[in-house]
Amino acid sequence: MKVLLDLQYLNVATTGIKTYMLELAQGVRDYPHPEIEWIFTHQPEEQAKDQTYKGPQSKIQKLNYHLDYFRWKEFQLPDLVKKHQPDVLVCPDFVSPAASLSCRRLTVIHDAFFWQMPQNYPKWWRKYFLSLIRKGLKEDTEIVTTTEYSKNSLLQHLGSTNPISVVYQAPKHLNGSFSPDFLAQNHLEKRDYFLHIGTFDKRKNLPLLVRAYADYMAKSPSGKKLVLAGGPGQSKVMNDLPIVEEMIREMGMEDRILLPGYLSDEEVKALYEGAFAYVFPSENEGFGIPILEAMASGLPVIHSDQPALMEVAGGAGLSFSAGVQSDLTEKMVLLEREKDRVASLVHAGHARSQDFSTKKFITAFQELILRSPLAS
C-alpha cells in the first residue's frame, strides 16, 4: 500500500502541528511497516528549515504565502497524487485538496479552535480557512484528531458525515545535551523557577499566570522566578505578548519574570531540566504536548482543568479551575510547601509520559491506515 504524506506546511508550522508532522515523519522512518510504502512530498528537515515565510511579514508577503499554500493544496498536491497513485493521502494540517482524488484521505484536524473561538482570528482569514477545510472533507475522507475531547468538539461543529478517529501523538524529541550555561546566562538556578513554554496566543491565558505569580510572590518567601519561553501569538488579534510585557513593567518584575523568546532544542531542554515546576494555564487545547515533555523531564505539572489537558495528564498533574487566578496561585504555593506532593507528582508524571511515544504514535496511525477499505 502506498501512502503519500503531505509535509508542505512544515515551512511555516510552529509548536504543536510542527511537532506532530516531524514526529510522524520520524516514526515512519524508525518503525517501517512491511505493508506500507510511505512517500514524502518534502524532506521534513529541509522543509522545516525553510525561512521564506517565517518571521515578521508585510501584507504582500502574507498574501504571497496564502497564494502559495492555495496553489499547493489545489494544484500541485493533486498532481503528485496523479504521479504517485497512492492508496491513501495524509494531510496533517487541517486541509485536503478540494479536487476529486482517486485515493482515500486521512485529514488531521488537531482541534476545533476555529469554530470554538472565532474572536481569536481575523474574520476574513477564518472564513477563508474554514472554507478550505470543508471543501477538502469529501469523498472517502476520514478525520484524525488528537484527543477524545477534540473528537467530541469536532462532532459538534462538523457532524458525523466524516468518521473521526483519535490517535494520540508523541511529544517532541529534544535533541542535544543539557547545557547548564544557558541557565547561568539567564541568571537562573536549578529548581528555582516555574516554567511555561509556548506561544503567547490568547487561549494560553498567560496574563492569568502572570497575575497568579505576583500573588504567589506575595505569599511565598522563596522568590522563585517565572520563565515564559516562546514567541508572539499567530496574529495581532491573538497575541497576548504585548499585554504580558506591559504587565511585567507595571509590576516592576522585569528581574523576576523572564521572556527569552523562541529557543533551540538544547535551550528548551535546559529549561525543562532546571525548572521547579511546569505551569499550563491554557483555557483551550487540542492536546497539550508540553505536559508530557515536562513530565518526562521529571517536573511536577500544574494545569488547568480544560478537558484535553485532563485527558492527556491522566491524573498525573495538579489541576486548577481554568480561568480562576486564586486557584492557580493556591496550587503554586501548595507545591512550594508540600515536598511529598512534588515527589508524588514527579513519579506519576514519569509513568504517564511513558504512555506516549513515537512508536505508539506511528503504530496507531498505521493501524488506522490498514483498517481502511483500501487495505483489504
In degrees, rounded to 5, the angle at the alpha carbon of residue 284 between the alpha carbons of residues 278 and 290 is: 30
Mean pLDDT, consecutive 10-residue stretches, the chain (376 aa), reads 97 88 95 97 94 77 89 97 97 96 96 91 89 91 96 96 95 72 91 95 95 94 92 80 96 95 90 96 95 96 98 98 97 95 97 95 96 53
Q: Where are the beta strands (DSSP E) in 188-315?
A: 193-197, 225-229, 257-261, 277-280, 301-304
Secondary structure of residue 260 in the 3-state scheme? strand
What pLDDT shows up at residue 217? 94
What pLDDT shows up at residue 172? 84
The closest of 188, 170, 169, 171 to 180, measured between CA atoms, is 188
Q: How far apart are CA 299 and CA 277, in angstroms?
A: 5
What pLDDT shows up at residue 11? 92
Q: Reading across the β-sheet that carries 301-304, which strands appear in turn?
A: 257-261, 225-229, 193-197, 277-280, 301-304, 318-320
What pLDDT shows up at residue 356? 95
Report residue 375 as a C-alpha cell: 487495505
Determine the longest span between alpha carbons in the chain, in angstroms: 66
Tell me phi and psi for residue 219, to 5 degrees: -105, -15
What pLDDT shows up at residue 120? 82
What pLDDT shows up at residue 16? 85
Provide the whole-model pTM. Answer: 0.92
> Do 260 and 229 form a contact (C-beta atoms < 8 A)?
yes
Q: How far apart are CA 219 and CA 269, in angstroms?
A: 29
Q: Which domains does the chain have, with CATH numbers?
A: 2-170+357-375 (3.40.50.2000), 180-353 (3.40.50.2000)
Q: How far apart are CA 370 and CA 285, in angstroms?
A: 29
